[in-house]
Amino acid sequence: MGRGEAIIYGAGMSGMVAAWNLARMGFRVVVREREDSFGGSRIFNPSTHVTPLDLEATSQYVGLDLSPAFHRVESISLYLHDLRLPLPAAGAYAVERSSRPVGLDALLYEKCLEAGVDFEFGRALRREDMEALPPGTIIACGLNEEAYQYLEIPYVTWEGWMSRGESGRSGYAWIWLDECVTEYGYASFCNGLYYNLLFSYGRGVNGECLRRYREFMLRAEGLEHEDWEYVKGVVPLAVPDNPRLVHRGFILCGTISGAMDPLMGFGISGALVSGRVAAMAVSEPERAEEEFARFTRNFASVHRFKHQVWYRLRSRVDLLEGLAETLGPEISMRLLAEAVRRGRKSSAIPGFSPVSCH
């Protein structure tokens, strides 16, 4: 016997995880998406990412075997300007966000179709429609600035330069720290694709910074990505108490719910587990609130650490670089590994991984 209709806005990772779980509970599920296909914003469709993940635990929690979409990472580099520090790659996976057959979104979409989920593309969330939406409608519009405004959820903007294309490299990623951005330059390689993003929160990234990044890439990695596009988005990182599962009668999941890491921006595992929690919130609201609080319990403390400590360190990458050069790569790596070990319990990465806060 059916259990009624469930409406979801957003056909990205979290929205489709919520849809599949609700469909298997017996709901008739309708997913509405402003784009003309599944996979979320065009900024990230296609894109490749590296994330810390316990693949088995995440699959069990979500209820789906996610292993076809995730691939073990061989190496990760952290660059302080040109100084390279190898990061531990154990427990890290590469994943493709896209509507291509090998993408995570394609896997979720096929599972949703098999479960009988209906999709309505070209159906954006509109302010004038919100009053008529039934309570418990799920909002999974992570990069849609209008959705944050409609719901009056505090957010910060991010913007920067994006490049993507084909690549023969695989299982590799780097992070580049430089004073010209508040965040970092990031490149990852998976499934014959690369995705490269140089971005800041709260301010623009000028052409001079892009030039510095491209020169670094050529010197350090021997790579030159020719085509760059300026992109913008929003994230719920404005205040320490941003995470919320239920807001104004709507259920939130994915980025817009605050199920993300406020320090480095990890969001893959948060999107997956919060999609499951959002589905749970329809039938077991109290249990869902407990689960959401478990996954986001360290958000506020890490948010404060980023603003009070990390940004001050980030503003002097030259000092970090000098310290690492003085200590040498072996000691620097030992200190990084110890920081990861000690930071495990205070991490704000939602979901399941060696460094998450489950």
Vertex 39 angle, CA 286 and 287, to 5°: 5
pLDDT at 160: 98
Both structure tokens of 12: 């990205």
Average of pLDDT values for 137-156? 95
Average of pLDDT values for 337-352? 75
Q: Rounded mean pLDDT of the chain?
A: 93
pLDDT at 41: 86
Please write the tens of the pLDDT for every residue from 262-276: 999 999 999 999 999
pLDDT at 241: 96
Average of pLDDT values for 123-143? 93
Q: Is residue 224 scored above 90 in pLDDT?
A: yes
pLDDT at 90: 87
Comparison of pLDDT for 58 and 327, the residue scoring more: 58
pLDDT at 330: 75
Q: Is residue 2 scored above 70 in pLDDT?
A: no
Average of pLDDT values for 43-70? 96
Average of pLDDT values for 223-246? 96
pLDDT at 18: 98
**Which residues sit opposite 252 in a β-bridge?**
139
Q: What is the CATH code of the structural domain delimited by 5-346?
A: 3.50.50.60
Q: What does the alpha-carbon distance between residue 77 and residue 184 come to, in Å, rounded to a whole number?
A: 13
Please write the tens of the pLDDT for every residue from 16-39: 999 999 999 999 999 999 999 999
Domain ranges of the chain: 5-346
Q: Is residue 329 scored above 80 in pLDDT?
A: no
Please report, rounded to a whole number, the percentage of residues in the chain having pLDDT higher than 70: 96
pLDDT at 338: 64
Task: pLDDT band for 1, please (50, 70, 90 cuts).
Answer: very low
Q: What does the alpha-carbon distance between residue 288 and residue 319 come to, in Å, rounded to a whole number?
A: 44
pLDDT at 50: 97
pLDDT at 10: 96
Distances (CA, A) of 298 to 13, 18, 57, 258, 346: 23, 23, 20, 11, 6
Distances (CA, A) of 62 to 14, 55, 143, 352: 10, 11, 22, 11
Average of pLDDT values for 331-344? 65
pTM: 0.94
Q: Which of 287, 229, 269, 235 is CA-nearest to residue 354?
A: 269
pLDDT at 337: 64
Average of pLDDT values for 46-75? 97
Give the pairing of strands 193-201 and 118-121.
unpaired
Please write the tens of the pLDDT for every residue from 159-217: 999 999 999 999 999 999 999 999 999 999 999 999 999 999 999 999 999 999 999 99
Q: Is residue 104 scored above 70 in pLDDT?
A: yes
Please report, rounded to a whole number, the percentage of residues in the chain having pLDDT higher than 90: 83
Q: What does the alpha-carbon distance between residue 237 and residue 32 come to, in Å, rounded to a whole number?
A: 25
